[in-house]
Structure 1
Amino acid sequence: MSNLDVQPAATECGGREDVPDGPVRELLSARAVPLGESTQVRRLLPNLGRRMVGAWCFVDHYGPDDIAQEPGMQVPPHPHIGLQTVSWLHEGEVLHRDSLGSKQTVRPRELGLMTAGRAISHSEESPRDHARYLHGAQLWVALPDAHRHRAPAFEHHVALPEVSGGSGLRATVILGELDGAASPGSTFTPIVGADVTLAAGTSARLPVEPDFEYAVMAMSGEAEVDGVRVGPGSMLYLGSGRSTLPLSAEVDSSLMLLGGEPFEERLVMWWNFFGRSAEDIVEAREDWIKGSRFGEVHGYAGPRLSAPALPPTPLKPRGRTR
């Protein structure tokens, strides 16, 4: 998925100095962002209050949208460097194409994982004959410096491990490891992503790593996370220092748990690019405009995205929070 802002902000993020030493309960609200002709997303990261959770650096939640008479998701070919993209659906399908030649329909509870590395381009769209509803999340993971120039790759995993936390709680491990269950998806930094479902009336505790920082976003329903109510359109940042996370729900609910070791490296994020300097971003943008480095996506019926103009002001370090 692309950041379709026509004037994307350029920011620097990462580093440990703004990571709390212990537990916090920081409720963040999403902002609405249009995505193509008929889809609107709730952008939860980067946020006015926080830019990263571990290596998680970008989170969009969309739907459930009734797209029976609409084209649904239509994101033209666009470039990425220095990150991984994670596609996660609860309803609907997304057809992924990329410059490696990959063509894959991602369905609910399947992992679509693209590692951009040094450069890749891709498109995402609802198939011509698609389900009525579209509901999911698109997330980005920053690659550490040792891996940001690696060869690009795409993975599709249908079978993912599950964790049961007692009656009424089930968690699918999307990335990383949770309670001894490990996702087959490739990771390059200590991280975890899990889809947690809570049946109505559930009260449970989920084991977590004290050295990780965590956040929880609501996909559906409304749940209580460590005493704070979280519903769709919000994300609860939890900091670190916990060994278990209390969860409860009065109605059927679904959450996404995102966590990882605080990302030590400082990096620059602009549009769809993650680098370590303004020069990295300028070079990537110029390569996209020239048609070099990122390859070509075949099969998408339409032009590729144009790169937005760079901001007129120089990048300024702002850390993980504002």
Structure 2
Amino acid sequence: MENTTPQVALETPFRRFVRNFFSSKIASAGFVLLVVIVFAALFAPWLSPQNPYDLSLLDVMDSRMAPGEQSFGGTMTFLLGTDEQGRDMLSAILYGIRISVAVAVTSTVIALMIGLTLGLLAGYLGGRIEAFIMRVADIQLSFPPILIALILLALTGPGVGKIIVALVAVQWAYYARTARSAALVERKKEYIEAATALGLSPTRIMLRHLLPNCLPPLIVISALQVASAISLEATLSFLGLGLPVTEPSLGLLIANGFQYLLSGKYWISFFPGIALLLTVVAINLVADQLRDVLNPRLQTQ
């Protein structure tokens, strides 16, 4: 007798996530753009026409050359022009993206770990611990992020490690409040009550049960905060309080050409600004789609 039972194809959660994520053409375009940007950042030393921070390769005669012009010695063509020091702008942008992305991702990961830990403790333990952590978070969130970062960097000075600390100080409260809210919701559910009744330790309950259910919203916030950190770092570097000139990011590259805009040397600031814009837009597009996939209730009907 012929078997007419329909064959149901089982779809793994990962394949379902990938299918839902790439169902949006805009998100797919953002993801491809982000992959290209990250690839360029990771392999900047190999993709760049020159090392823009090797003084032995720079020639003052190549200063402020327009896009498409050849070097003074005729050895290379500057596709995006040069800055006031004779650095190839394409090479400087690739290195600048690398530094900006590295600083933003590092600060976001550290802030996520701190905020997630404090948020889980506040949401699960409650009491005075919750009150203390949330009051500190409320105080931090009551000030504009750029003001906190400016104060910290004005006291400590520019530097990669110092700006990472400043960005962590700005970001951790967002994760703490989100993790605490998610933990409060999960704490009232039956599986948490069952785990408590079985005598499991608070640490095991938080790590094995609360943490996996609190991660989805934090993943979305992390993606958005990477874009925010890149923008904030660029602003601080533009103001001269971010990264030092020996390790310039996109913000510092924009600042370097700002004084030449009125003289027609637009490319020194314009092309780093475009690179910064594309990076932030790509991250935001991916983050928006992550939000819709991880929380289908937020999807536009």
> Structure 2 length as normaliser, TM-score?
0.23
Larger radius of gyration: 2
With CA pairs under 8 Å and 6+ residues apart, which has the higher RCO, 1 or 2?
A: 1
Point out the structure with the larger strand share. 1
> Structure 1 length as normaliser, TM-score?
0.22
Point out the structure with the larger helix share. 2
